Amino acid sequence: MWIKICANTNLDDAKLAADLGADALGFVFAASPRRVTSAEVAKITPHLPANVERVGVFQSLDAYEIARASHEAGLTAVQLHSGVDFALLQRLHKLFAGQVSLIQTIHWQVDADGADTAIVAAQLRRIAADGFVSRVLIDSKVGTKLGGTGISFDWDAARTTLAEVAPELKLIVAGGLRPENVAEAIQRLNPWGVDVASGVESEPGRKSPEKLAAFIRKARESKVDSI
């Protein structure tokens, strides 16, 4: 199970998450109480173990701005967190030429009445067909809020779509995960990875060492139900 601890804002939290066994650390460049600049991230990334991915989370920037920020911050992956923009994916795929990997976020509207199933399925099929991205992060959209919501989407409604539509994609579940529910999310959705921001914080932008340790341990220990 691949584990990403997102929305890191300082070196101590990032190092602790890496020491506890996180596979990837996220840095939010989008509008957020946890927002960081590329100059701030550039002071953190050189101190992290080489095998830990450094993922920048971006919204509403063009390909050249994302590439410049990634280079300055020392990122190894970029997570596109606004709607799916296939032209942007294609440009970044070409610009990065395999040096920085891409993660596309798809949002599951928390207050939708089933309509999201068809939208998410169509996006997954198109992403798989285009082949620019192998990892897709499924996050909750709450009203107009696109990240760091602390709210889970409807796992039961999503279960069949996520399991069957594009099995070649590596799916990462996010949105409202906490130490208390990450095992259940893994059992029910059988994702390739999990991602958390607010569920391991003591306050916005500060990680809780106890919650971090518990989240990573529970995610590592989790077993999957047969779907």
Spell out the SS3 assignment of 127-144. HHHHCCCCEEEEEEEECC
Selected from 150, 157, 170, 217, the binder of ligand LARABZUK by CB under 6 A is 150
Q: 159 phi and psi, to 5 degrees? A: -55, -55
166 or 185: CB nearest ligand LARABZUK: 185
Reduce the DSSP state of residue 201 to 3 states and report it. Answer: strand
Contact 148, 32 (CB under 8 A): yes
Selected from 89, 93, 139, 191, the binder of ligand LARABZUK by CB under 6 A is 139
Selected from 36, 127, 148, 186, the binder of ligand LARABZUK by CB under 6 A is 148
Binding status of residue 186 toward ligand LARABZUK by CB under 6 A: no
The residues pairing with 206 across neighbouring beta strands, listed in sequence order, are: 203
Cα Dmax for the chain:
45
By CB atoms closer than 10 A (0-12, 13-18, 19+), residue 119 is: middle
Residue nearest ligand LARABZUK, CB atom distance: 147
Selected from 177, 186, 189, 194, the binder of ligand LARABZUK by CB under 6 A is 177
Selected range binding ligand LARABZUK among 14-22, 28-36, 46-54, 115-123, rule: CB under 6 A = 28-36
